[in-house]
Structure 1
Amino acid sequence: MSDRKLPIVIAITGASGAIYAARLMQVLCQTDQEIHLTISPSGAAVIAQELDLRLDIRRPNLESLVGYVAPWTTSQAIKENASRAAELVNDQIHFHQYDDYMTPIASGSFRTRAMVICPCSGSTLSGIARAAASNLIQRAAEVHLKEHRKLVIVPRETPMSVLQIENMHRLAQAGAVLLPAMPGWYHGVDSIDSLVDFVVARILDQLDVDNTLMKRWGEA
């Protein structure tokens, strides 16, 4: 199996920025990409707070998450994109309980293309950096590091403590890609959606997934 056909692992933890995860899955679903998803209880709490979606952490309504459209969205293309993605959830997304170590993604023998933790909380960052996994998300991240597969970590915290910076430094040394949710402003920002898409586009670039979510530097 080619790397492009291998599944991508996505983890949502308890940092602000749940909209990035929802938008990322919307785009990936329409690229015929198999996704293995896990959500921490704190991640579900942030989704409830920021997206007004109450997910049962044991049996979440993934259609509502992947099909989420922000109240500020006026783009008909984004609305249609979300609707189409929601219809593909059952075919493309495998959900795993955050505390279930018997799932495929807990083992290095299960081949994957990459893993994205979006957004990534400070406690998740710490657990991975110390190789002290306390849940499936941290364990799956450790698997990607030990198997030398791409691990993309999307922290959303400001300001950052010295300890958080040291954790990021340690993970970068171990091979992870640290991709803070810091949207740029050079691509013709005209809405909040364009700021969200900037970050999602950078994540997709790290996954080598073609996309046109943002106007790139130097493009006319």
Structure 2
Amino acid sequence: MSTGTSALHEEVRAQEKRVVVAITGATGAVYGVRLLEALRASGVVTHLVVSRAGWMTLADETGLDRAALRDAADVCHDQNEVGASIASGSFQHDGMVVAPCSMKTLAAVAYGFDDNLVARAASVTLKERRKLVLLARETPLTLAHLRNMTLVTEMGAVVMPPMPAFYAKPDGIDAMIDYTVMRVLDQLGIASDKPYARWQGLAASLAAR
């Protein structure tokens, strides 16, 4: 569904969960794509905003065009749309996820530099004391990166680098991606229709071999 979704449609779905999803220019655009798919499968209304660099990374890493990604969300906002609903604290939602989160976006959130809709929506999420999850993607980390992570954590954000869990015995990249997405849903308190391997203790893991 494209930008301009009717007010009536929004009113009808007001009782459903709403999540803001942002995709920025760091590598790992597939996390944002897979998150949109998982949220839709769980019946969650999604508001999507993609940074300029995010569109470039999406095209390079996933091959998706803009129309295909916009169809994966309920509402899609332009990063320069400063009058968008998600730019205001009066717009209620159940959390925001930046997947992936570039170090530039991390710094913008840390210092309140709301130069585009991604950073503005993240700042609004923090000031309204809603859940903000940042899938920070960079390695190695500089001292600036680490300090910015500390700042956003102190403000209430959750810094969640998309790291694979090998105890889940993933059988490929897709399984690793899905694991991270399911952990994001946990952070938002959203049940998934796709179960994943949760740690049951070492004894159970050894017995399953």
TM-score, normalised to structure 2, is 0.85
Letter matched to residue 182 of structure 1: M
Question: Residue deviations 1:76-103, cap 9 Å, x none?
Answer: xxxxxxxxxx6xx4xx610001011101
Within 5 Å, which residues of 2 pair with 1:68-147? 89=72, 93-147=74-128
Letter matched to residue 198 of structure 2: R
Give the Å deviation of 1:191. Answer: 1.4
Identify the residue that residue 69 of structure 2 maps to in structure 1: 65
Q: Is 1:33 aligned to residue 37 of structure 2?
A: no
Alpha-carbon separation, structure 1, partners of 2:15 and 2:197:
24
Identify the residue that residue 215 of structure 1 maps to in structure 2: 197
Structure 1 residues 41, 175: closer, same or farther in 2, change over 3 A? same
1:198 and 1:213 in contact (8 A); partners too: no
1:11 and 1:137 in contact (8 A); partners too: yes
Identify the residue that residue 47 of structure 1 maps to in structure 2: 58
Aligned residue pairs, count = 189
Tell me the secondary structure at the aligned position of residue 5 of structure 1: coil
Alignment partner for residue 158 of structure 1, among 115, 119, 139?
Answer: 139
Alignment partner for residue 12 of structure 1, among 7, 23, 42?
Answer: 23
Q: CA RMSD in A?
A: 1.9
Identify the residue that residue 7 of structure 2 maps to in structure 1: none
Alpha-carbon separation, structure 1, partners of 2:19 and 2:45:
6
Letter matched to residue 122 of structure 1: M
Alpha-carbon separation, structure 1, partners of 2:41 and 2:196:
17
Structure 1 runs, 4 residues or longer, greater than 3 Å off: none
Alpha-carbon separation, structure 1, partners of 2:132 and 2:191:
18
1:113 and 1:150 in contact (8 A); partners too: yes
Give the Å deviation of 1:6. Answer: 3.4
Question: Residue deviations 1:152-179, cap 9 Å, x none?
Answer: 0001111011001100000000000111
Structure 1 residues 4, 198: closer, same or farther in 2, change over 3 A? farther
Letter matched to residue 160 of structure 2: L
Q: Runs of 5+ in structure 2 lacking a partner? A: 1-10
Letter matched to residue 69 of structure 2: L
Alpha-carbon separation, structure 1, partners of 2:47 and 2:158:
19
Structure 1 residues 18, 213: closer, same or farther in 2, change over 3 A? farther
Alpha-carbon separation, structure 1, partners of 2:15 and 2:132:
15
Alpha-carbon separation, structure 1, partners of 2:120 and 2:17:
19
What's the % identity of the aligned pairs?
A: 39
Give the Å deviation of 1:214. Answer: 1.9
Alpha-carbon separation, structure 2, partners of 1:161 and 1:205:
29
Alpha-carbon separation, structure 1, partners of 2:132 and 2:185:
12
